[in-house]
């Protein structure tokens, strides 16, 4: 059983999948930092010095100076600023994955169609092997 497990783990596809997963997690972290640390502050500045991380609707009735303070207090609130950041993060990752898949598709060689192995009998329209000189269905003699 241990031998079978080792063979399973050492299969190329499983290792490639593990590497792809790790790279995907690292990429998501990088994109998350790019969105939270570069894009959202620029968008917030363009929108009139808005800090998206601090946008929330307080449902608890208490007063908090920031969304972080409300979260730490466990207050009931809708943190829509964080959602906007995560939405932008998702859309950017989806766009990059789409572009990568599209580029990969362009790099693939188109597969050539296999040469036909049959022809049609001109008398009965039955498919027959190309080298046939007589149709096995209607027994007609074929040219060439």
On the question of pLDDT at 127 being above 90, the answer is yes
| Beta carbons of 59 and 11 less than 8 angstroms apart | no
Residue 5 lies in a domain: no
Same domain, 100 and 136: no
Taking the CA atoms of residue 7, residue 9, residue 10 and residue 15 in that order, the dihedral angle to the nearest 10 degrees is 160
| Beta carbons of 101 and 93 less than 8 angstroms apart | no
Residue 3 lies in a domain: no
Q: What is the mean pLDDT of the chain?
A: 86
Count of domains forming the chain: 2
On the question of pLDDT at 144 being above 70, the answer is no
Same domain, 33 and 101: yes
Model pLDDT for residues 62-78, shown as the tens digit of each residue: 888 888 899 899 889 99
Residue 125 lies in a domain: yes
DSSP 77: E
pLDDT band at 13 (very low <50, low <70, confident <90, very high): confident
Domain ranges, residue 143: 116-144
Check which CATH number belongs to the domain holding 73 and give it: 1.10.1200.120
Quick one: pLDDT at residue 128? Answer: 92
pLDDT band at 93 (very low <50, low <70, confident <90, very high): confident
């Amino acid at each position: 059983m241990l031998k079978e497990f080792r063979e399973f783990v050492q299969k190329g596809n499983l290792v490639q999948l593990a590497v792809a997963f790790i790279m995907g997690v690292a990429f998501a972290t990088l994109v998350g930092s790019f969105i939270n640390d570069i894009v959202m502050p620029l968008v917030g500045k363009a929108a009139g010095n808005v800090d998206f991380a601090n946008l929330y609707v307080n449902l608890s009735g208490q007063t908090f100076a920031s969304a972080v303070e409300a979260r730490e207090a466990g207050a009931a609130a809708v943190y829509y600023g964080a959602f906007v950041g995560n939405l932008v993060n998702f859309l950017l990752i989806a766009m990059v994955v789409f572009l990568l898949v599209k580029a990969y598709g362009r790099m693939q060689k188109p597969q050539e169609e296999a040469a036909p192995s049959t022809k049609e009998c001109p008398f009965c329209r039955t498919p027959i092997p190309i080298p046939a000189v007589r149709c096995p269905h209607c027994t007609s003699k074929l040219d060439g």
